[in-house]
Structure 1
Amino acid sequence: MTSTIQNEVRLTSNPIVKRILQLFHFGWEQALSCIFPVVVFASLAITKMIPLPFLPRYDWLLIIFLLMQWWMLKSGLETRDELKVITLFHLIGLGLEIFKVHMGSWSYPEEGYMKIFGVPLYSGFMYASVASYLCQAWRRLHVELVKWPPFILVVPLAAAIYLNFFTHHFWIDIRYWLAGLVLIVFWKSWVKYEVNGITYRMPIALSFVLIGFFVWIAENIATFFGAWQYPNQADTWQLVHIGKVSSWVLLVIVSFLIVATLKLVKQKNKLEFRHLDNTLGKE
């Protein structure tokens, strides 16, 4: 399908049709990058409507997500390095979930054998699905970073954003100060990506907001199908407050910064290895 769209883009001379085809191809690549999140939402919907036997719903979700992860690795849709990143996000997300449930921010009211401190183990996969999307889109769209800030700024900023999810329960919430810092640090930073060999670019801060907004939409779908429950959704489902977009934008920033940092470190190591190999070859 991808090659068909590419041929149509090359053959057409109409600029409007070409833009529409490019947009469609971009959407198709985005859809392929979302394969794991799609499985997450489909599983939430199916297990909500059709009860499965022998095990509680939360445990079936964990089994489904583990099998999906195994299949993506075996089929080549996911690399071992990407699996490591996704596992890291699973642990980061699970830690955040345990704390938030303990503080009463939301809950997992259904039964489950595979729970830690009231949090089902499948919950970490919802954070991992964001990392899966980022890794897939990075590879499919040939993402490049332009004027990326130094690690000495990026790493503490990511850590401060993540810690604020915990500390704002005991201290002031500094999310908007952190958002301002993000704009300052990434003011000159862009992300470049390819669609059918044509390069586009977007301010990184804008990409954070767009991804965060779509994650908020996904959160509404997830809570509708009972993935977790906010206090105001105990009696009947309600739309998640629009203010949660800011939380998701910040979480997306943390996710993006971790993925980008790991990608850049790996790229730097490859370049150093090649340089060393060339040096030894000359000797």
Structure 2
Amino acid sequence: ILALNYATTARLNAEAARNRRLGSEHDYLMQSAIAKGYHEYLKYRANRSLLAKKDEVEELSGEPLELWYPRYEPWEYEIEGVKVKIKMATEAGKFRLDNLKVDRWRKVVNACGVSDEEARDGIVDSILDWTDNDSLHRLNGAESDYYEEQGLDYSCKNRKIDVVNELLLIKGVTHEIYAGGNGHPGLIDLLSPYGAERKLDINSCAPRALTLIDDLPQDVINEIVAYRTVSPIMKLSELNELVAPEYFSLLSQYFTVADSDYVTISAAEAGRINQGGNWYRQVFSVNKKK
């Protein structure tokens, strides 16, 4: 028995050491990918004027212009033989967290996959109860008594939301709604303390953000995404040929071409994304990490 115990303990210790090593290697890989993404973002800021004359630059140099630019779709890269995907999207592609009105909250929650009206209104009312400065319940909301009844060790904040992951504390906000899944973006993809006050950047926004425009056909969304994946949209008017006039006027109400002093670099190992692997994210300002 003792011999068996020793053998089992030794095997478990070896597996634990192996898992720690693999975990450390994966963390190093993701940190390297994040650093690569931030380097490419700085390179973009220093050379973005070249994108406006891409054809001319390529003709003169005889080589393709290899310049990453901010977009929601990931760039592919290889680090020490491992394929990774790196997203480089500015915070202008998200709404500013403390600046949303009720109707915009509803559209955002709906874009995150909550199409059931009762569930959606419950989340929105609970968010508004969390941020207002009173203890009065909205119709489908939640104040401090709800959180106490659930045995939670916190109460309703009754102040503005400071960081996006604070939303996870609020009634109805699940991890899937927050982080995204099943083809939907998460609240983290649409909201930011550093986000846009009115209109989202058409290059950095999540594709599902385009569903903020009622009845915009999916094939049009796909065409916009395909267009910006090949080259950045420099002016919204470039989409005139892709979007019917009745939709383009709505598009211009929600979207624009904008930059930001903040960028989110996200990285994931390519082989793990389809297996539920997580994206590693880090927000940077132009000059320093945040």
TM range (shorter): under 0.3
Which one has the bigger helix percentage? Answer: 1
TM-score after normalising by structure 1: 0.26
Which one has the bigger strand percentage? Answer: 2
Q: Is the radius of gyration larger for structure 1 or structure 2?
A: 2
TM-score after normalising by structure 2: 0.25
